[in-house]
């Protein structure tokens, strides 16, 4: 019997920007209103934001705006440590365009206890592999002084392609990742 189903790309199906993604270390699931307290507990560490353009995001009122925008975006995911079940961070799909075959991954942060590669690497892997089921490019828009995030994106194969001005008039650097580059970096 022949499988007559079309590949997902041919069906016109849209990118699910709030999937549940499960790896060895993390579970990513849609952000919910009742996640605020646990996520703010992580975000209230000023050192998480020291290289970030919004350095005051550790303050509750500033973080509340970030959180509410994440809920409204329809693309925010909360990261849970599978071993403990605790919320340890957040990330977001943004700016999905089926016509251009692109989505942005950003607004990512993790508790400092989870820095150092394995958790961020798995978060990005889960999100990138999910995105590449529907898009041909994933972009990352990062503050120019945020070297930590730039190095993390370079580590997974992101290539700096230029810069842009954000909605607040601030310069941001743009990285891009394609399935071909991802396969090369992943050794496939």
CA angle 187, 142, 14 (to 5 degrees): 65
Angle made by CA atoms 186, 119, 88, in degrees to the nearest 5: 150
pLDDT tier, 71 (very low <50, low <70, confident <90, very high otherwise): very high
Sheet holding 76-81, edge to edge: 21-22, 26-30, 76-81, 87-97, 102-110, 137-142, 171-177, 159-165
The pLDDT tens digits for 119-167 are 988 999 999 999 999 999 999 999 998 998 899 899 899 999 999 998 8
The CB-side HSE value for 67 (13 A sphere, CA atoms) comes to 22
Q: Are 63 and 24 spatial neighbours (Cβ–Cβ below 8 Å)?
A: no
* Pairing label, strands 102-110, 137-142: parallel
Dihedral pair phi/psi, residue 42, rounded to 5°:
-70, -50
Question: Rounded to an integer, what distance in angstroms lies between the CA atom of residue 188 and that of residue 50?
Answer: 36
Domain boundaries, the chain: 8-186
Q: What is the pLDDT of residue 108?
A: 93
Give the fold, CATH level 3, of 8-186: Aminopeptidase (3.40.630)
Alpha-carbon radius of gyration of the chain: 17
For strands 76-81 and 26-30, give the pairing: antiparallel
Structure tokens at 177: 């990742």
User: Helix and strand tally (H, E) in the chain?
Assistant: 6, 8
For residue 89, the cross-strand partners are 79, 110
Give the CA-trace dihedral at 25, 71, 167, 177, to 10 degrees: 30
pLDDT, mean of residues 50-72: 93
Q: Check pLDDT > 80 for residue 5.
A: no
Q: What percent of the chain has pLDDT over 90?
A: 78
- Sole residue written with tokens 């150092």: 116
pLDDT higher than threshold 90 for residue 187: no
């Amino acid at each position: 019997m022949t499988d007559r189903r079309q590949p997902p790309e041919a069906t016109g199906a849209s990118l699910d920007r709030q999937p549940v993604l499960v790896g060895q270390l993390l579970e990513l699931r849609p952000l919910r209103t009742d996640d605020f307290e646990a996520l703010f507990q992580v975000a209230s560490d000023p050192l998480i934001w020291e290289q970030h353009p919004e350095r005051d995001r550790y303050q509750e009122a500033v973080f509340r705006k970030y959180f509410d925008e994440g809920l409204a975006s329809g693309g925010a995911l909360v990261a849970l440590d599978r071993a403990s079940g605790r919320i340890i961070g957040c990330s977001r799909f943004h700016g999905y365009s089926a016509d251009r075959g692109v989505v942005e991954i950003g607004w990512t942060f993790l508790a400092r206890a989870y820095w150092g590669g394995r958790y961020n690497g798995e978060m990005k892997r889960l999100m990138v592999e999910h995105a590449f089921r529907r898009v041909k490019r994933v972009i990352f828009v990062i503050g120019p002084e945020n070297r930590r995030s730039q190095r993390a994106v370079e580590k997974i194969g992101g290539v700096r392609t230029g810069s842009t001005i954000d909605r607040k008039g601030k310069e941001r650097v743009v990285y891009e990742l394609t399935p071909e580059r991802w396969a090369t970096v992943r050794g496939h």
